Amino acid sequence: MKKIIYIITLMLTIFTISACSNSNESTIQVIATSIPHGEILEFARPYLKEKGYDLEIIITSDYYFPNPAVAAGDADANFFQHVPFLSKYNTENPNAQLSIAAYIHIEPIGLYSKSITSLASIPQGATILLSNSVSDHGRALNLLQSAGLITLSSTFDILSTTQNFNEVITSNPKQLVLRTDVAPDFLISAYNSNEADLYIINSNYALEGGLNPLEDSIFIESTENNPYVNIVAALESKLESAKIKALIEVLSLPAVKAFIESQYEGSVIPA
């Protein structure tokens, strides 16, 4: 069933982008996930209008389509990913790379549970569900170490996309079981279905699922020196275009930063 839903979502995204691909130079097309990216763009829309641009926001829940779509010229930019995710994409796609146009915000990941209310009450052998996005595995492990649940080796690299859990975890006193078999956008569904004891969920999906990261998580990561900044990405050849410059100027406005702070109350933080 999950595979069918994914295919349908991907086809709808392709159809939407195809339908929008004939826009003119006064239209800026941005592929984004719904919350908070789409909401931030909606807030920015009138400011772009003042600069003479219409904004087309192409909403998707798929993480693996927006980069190839922008690389192919089917949209001007995307706004959905953090820096390590783009770095991994660029490494795997040397002939279709994208560049960072701007650093916008940070979405802290948190540890959630329907039945466990504190770190101290986590039982022996509890199962923790992570996403299957390898660019988030180092981040998830670092979260668990920060929570005092595991210890990581001195050679641990938070940005590595080839984490070997058995090698980097040097101490696991509660014998926690880590699962990585769910796509990021299905973590909330797994949470609602009680598929594990604990879940590591990014704030954008937590917000989409009706959770308040600051109130509903039992532990949340620090945003200090956090390398997982969410970005706007575009082709390098378009970074100096009038459209991308206008988009970045607007998303960098104090008003946009103030909106992020007031709208998400610390669940999403301006970069």
Predicted TM-score (pTM) of this structure: 0.84
Which tokens sit at 30? 């941005």
38/61 Cα distance (integer angstroms): 11
Taking the CB of residue 94, how many other CB atoms lie within 10 A of it? 7
267/261 Cα distance (integer angstroms): 9
Which tokens sit at 141? 């492990």
Question: Is 2-107+228-270 assigned to CATH 3.55.30.10?
Answer: no
| pLDDT tens track for 88-107 | 999 999 999 999 999 999 99
Which tokens sit at 249? 């100027």
Any idea what DSSP says for residue 143?
Answer: H
Confidence at 24, pLDDT banded by 50, 70, 90 = confident
Q: What type of residue sits at position 8?
A: I
**CATH code reported for the domain at 109-220:** 3.40.190.10
Amino acid 21: pLDDT: 47
Residue 262: pLDDT over 90: yes
Residue 129: pLDDT over 60: yes
Residue 22: pLDDT over 70: no
Domains 2-107+228-270 and 109-220 share a fold: yes
| pLDDT tens track for 136-159 | 999 999 999 999 999 999 999 999
Range in 5-14, 25-34, 182-191, 224-233 with the lowest mean pLDDT:
5-14
Coil, strand or helix at 256: helix
CB contact at 8 A, 29 and 58: yes
Residue 19: pLDDT over 70: no
Residue 20: pLDDT over 80: no
* Mean pLDDT of the region 168-177: 98
Where do the domains of the chain lie?
A: 2-107+228-270, 109-220
| pLDDT tens track for 197-250 | 999 999 999 999 999 999 999 999 998 889 999 999 999 999 999 999 999 999
